[in-house]
Amino acid sequence: TGGPKPPAAQLTQNQIQFLDQKGFSSGMIRSISKNINAFPLRIWLLDNSSSMLTRDSHIFSGTTKDLKRIDASRWQEVQTCVGHHAEFSGILGLTTRFTTINAPGRNGFGQIIPQTVGVNDPPPFSPSGIQAQIQTVRETVEQIRPSGATPLSGHIQAIYSSLQQMAPRLQAQGKMVTVVLITDGLPSDKSGFENDVVKKQFIDALRSFESMPVNIVVRLCTDSAEVFD
C-alpha cells in the first residue's frame, strides 16, 4: 500500500493569475494545487513517425472561454500541445520531460536536434531560466519534421526500467509519475512493420506498469475512426 497523500501545493498569486487567465475555474485550480506534489515527474513520449504529417487533426486557439478550432496535421497538434504543457509546467514548477520516439536528426543549420528536452529538469536558478527552458522545448518541437516508424514498445520498456529504482520511494510517499503517450495509432517495429507480435509487445510493456506508482495517459492525435476503434 502507498503512503499518505502529500499535502496540496501552495500556489503563488502569479501562478493563480496564470491559471485564471487560461480560463481555469477556481475548482480546477484547487485540483491542480492538490496534484502538483502528488506527481513529482511527468514524462511525455512523442510519436514523431512519418504518419504524424497526416492532416486530419485540429488545434485550438484561445482560452477555455473562447476556443477556436483550426485544421492541422497530427504533428502540429503535438507541437501546440507540447508548447502549452511546457509553459504550464514551467510556471507551476512541474518537472516535465519530453522525448521523441525517433531521433529528430539535424535542423536547417546542420545542428543535431535533441531527442529529449525538459522543463524544471533540472530546476533553473531564476525565472529567466524557466522561460529559457520553455522556449527551448517549443523551438525543439518546431524544428522536428516527423519521419520513420513507430517503435513505441522499446521506449515504454526504457521508461519502466528508469522508474524501477524510484518506485519504492514514490509508493512510501504516496506519489506517482505520469507517463503521457501521444501518438496517432498502433506501434510498429523499428522497420515499420505492424503485426500481432509487435502489438503484444506493446500491450505487455504497458501492463508492466500495473504494479508501479505510474499513471499512464494515451493521447491520440488523429480524427481517424479506424484508429479510435
**Does residue 44 contact residue 180 with C-beta atoms inside 8 Å?**
yes
> Greater confidence, 36 or 65?
36
pLDDT over 70 (residue 229): no
Judged against a pLDDT cut of 70, whether residue 195 lies above it is answered with yes
What is the per-residue pLDDT for 12?
93
Q: Would you say residue 228 has pLDDT above 60?
A: no
Residue the block writes with cell 514548477: 93
Distance CA 10, CA 49 (A): 40
| Per-residue pLDDT tens over the stretch 37-94 | 999 999 999 999 999 999 988 888 776 667 788 889 999 999 999 999 999 999 999 9
Residue 133 has φ and ψ, to the nearest 5°, of: -65, -45
Q: Give the whole-number percent of the chain exceeding pLDDT 90.
A: 73
pLDDT by residue (tens digit) across 87-124? Answer: 999 999 999 999 999 999 999 889 999 999 999 998 88
Mean pLDDT score, 211-222: 92
Per the model's pLDDT, the better-predicted residue between 34 and 226 turns out to be 34
User: Quick count: other Cβ atoms within 10 Å of Cβ 50?
Assistant: 15
Q: Which tops the pLDDT comparison, 2 or 156?
A: 156
Res 1: pLDDT: 46
CA distances from 36 to 8, 39, 40, 83, 204 (A): 7, 6, 7, 19, 29
Query: Would the pLDDT of 224 be above 80?
Result: no
State how far the Cα of 146 lies from the Cα of 9, in Å rounded to an integer.
37
Give mean pLDDT, residues 168-180: 95
Q: What is the pLDDT of residue 172?
A: 94
N-terminal to C-terminal alpha carbon distance within the chain: 35
pLDDT confidence of residue 225:
61
Tell me if 119 sits within 8 A of 90, measured CB to CB.
yes
Whether pLDDT at 26 is above 80 = yes
SS3 assignment, position 50: helix
Q: What is the mean pLDDT of the chain?
A: 91
Strands 68-72 and 57-61, by their bridges, are: antiparallel
Tell me the residue ranges of DSSP E strands in 34-115. 41-46, 57-61, 68-72, 96-100
The per-residue pLDDT for 123 is 86
Peptide bond into 146 cis (omega under 30): no
pLDDT-based confidence at 2, cuts 50/70/90? low
